[in-house]
Structure formats: structure tokens, C-alpha cells
Amino acid sequence: MAGAAAARRDAFLARAGKHPLVMGIVNVTPDSFSDGGRFQEASAAVAQARRLVEDGADIIDVGAESTRPGHQPVSAEVEQARLAPLLGELVAAIDRPVSVDTSKAAIAGWAATQGAAFVNDVWGLQRDPAMADVAAEAGLGVIIMHNREEVDPGCDIVADMRRFFDHSLKLAAKAGIPLSRIILDPGIGFGKTRAQNLEALHRLTALRDYDLPVLVGVSRKSLLGPILGDGADHRLIGTIAANLVAAAHGASIFRVHDAAEHVAAFKVFEAIETA
């Protein structure tokens, strides 16, 4: 990993867990649930990354394969073809670390050569057997997200998350990834019922004993719809409300589409928490 990416990685990790940090989303896919097709061109993706940073984002997460429910998986070749025209330019355009949202070791390793500082793996090092070793060798920070192949309404979702994280952390340790480079994500919206998603947010304190930063990605997700009804404004209000609750329960990194609104909300949150 180049010196600039490593420095940005370490500076971000030094702040994680101490203050609410905002991860801005740049999807370069044609089919993401919220903004699919909007940022596929390099100029649009770079402009969006700059806009998110100007709005206060602390890190930018770039994804080239949709992971929404019912998504169509793509090959590593397609994923890299979507990223290749823009990732290096995007990294150079902003003074923030860049994370690549992928479960493919080949993409993570290639992204590191383009200046990415983190890999955001929605299968927590467990889908691609090479992911942990590649991330370790490249020096990437790792976001380990909980996921399930099938929804099981009867399972204790927090117990399941802990089993998943324990396995992922063993894989990370075996590969030589330091704990200081790991972030946990409960995987809101992935392999869970709506009730389990809400329970996972409510019980985030059950993850505190890992002593690792916790990232929450609930931005604009459909689980918020039945609570407030449809509409863009409702999705934003619901997202901010959910993220403030998550912050109160121990989360410290928030993957969002709307950076400015969250930065403002967290300023108020911290002012009250530290009064």
C-alpha cells in the first residue's frame, strides 16, 4: 500500500470509535436500490465523492456490484471494468481514505494498487477464501459485515452475529490482519427479517466487548418504509433517526448517502453527549 493510503487509513482508524464518522456512498452500478446508474461515469463519480467530502464525509465507499435484495451478481472482470476508469482518479481527487465495497479478493487487491485504503466485505472475509490473505498482504483496513445465506426468523440474530464475527476474526488473525485495522458491521438489511434488523440496531451494545469500531449501514433502506411510509424525505428522516439511536448504542461509523445532514445531526448528538 502506498504511503498516502496507509496514512489516511491510520488517521481514520485512530478516530474510529471516538467520534461519529460519516462514510459517504458512491455506487458505480446500474442497479443499486437508491442511486443505481447515477455515478457510472468517472466524472460523475469523482464529482459525487468531492461533494460528499465537502459535506463532511470522513471516508468514501465505492461499490461496483449491487448487494441489494435480489441483485444480479457480476464477475470480477465486470466489477473491475466498472471501477478501472474512475477509482484512481477518485482516490487522487479527495483527501480522504477510500474503501472499496467488494467480496472478491482479486478486486480488493487490485483496488489497493489504485490507492484504496479499506475493503468493505459484505461477507466478512468468509465468501472468498483468499480475501483475508489478500487484505493482509495489501495492508488494507477491513470492514467485516455480518451476513446470512438465508433468512431464519427463529434465530437469535445477535448470537448469530457473534458466531459470524468470531469466525471472521479467526480468519483475520490467521492471515495476519491486525485487530487495529478491523471494523465490524452488523449488516442491517442482509439476511435478516425486518424485526431482526431492528433488534440488531437495538442490541448493538452486545458487540462492545469486541472493543472494535462498529459501522452501521441503514441509509434509505426499505426496513424504514413501514415505519414512516414512502417518500424520499421519510427515508432521510428515518435514516438519521436510526443512526442517532445506533450512535447512542455504540456505533461510531455511519455509511450514508446524505453526508451533510448526518454531519449536522452528529454535531448535535455529540454536543449533548459531552455536555
Rounded Cα distance, 202 and 268, in Å? 21
For the chain, helix, strand, coil in percent to 5 are: 50, 15, 35
Enclosing domain of residue 24: 3-273
Taking 70 as the threshold, does the pLDDT of residue 38 lie above it?
Answer: no
pTM greater than the 0.85 cutoff: yes
Taking 70 as the threshold, does the pLDDT of residue 50 lie above it?
Answer: yes
From the candidates 96, 104, 181, 221, which is the catalytic residue?
221
Average pLDDT for 206-220: 97
Strand 182-185's sheet: what is its strand order? 182-185, 141-145, 118-121, 98-101, 59-63, 21-27, 253-256, 215-216
Q: Which residue has the higher pLDDT, 105 or 30?
A: 105
Taking 80 as the threshold, does the pLDDT of residue 209 lie above it?
Answer: yes
**Which cell is 84 given?**
478501472
Alpha helices (runs of H) in the chain, residue ranges in sequence order: 3-15, 42-54, 76-83, 87-93, 105-113, 131-138, 157-175, 194-202, 225-228, 232-248, 259-273
How does the average pLDDT of the chain come out, rounded? 93
Number of domains into which the chain is organized: 1
Average pLDDT for 123-147: 98
Average pLDDT for 37-62: 91
CATH of the domain at 205: 3.20.20.20
The CA R_g of the chain, rounded to the nearest whole Å, is: 17
Half-sphere exposure of 147 (CA within 13 A, CB side): 19
Please give the pLDDT value at position 224: 84
pLDDT digits (tens, 9 = 90+) for 164-186: 999 999 999 999 999 999 999 99
Is 255 an annotated catalytic residue?
A: yes
208 closest CA partner among 242, 166, 249: 249
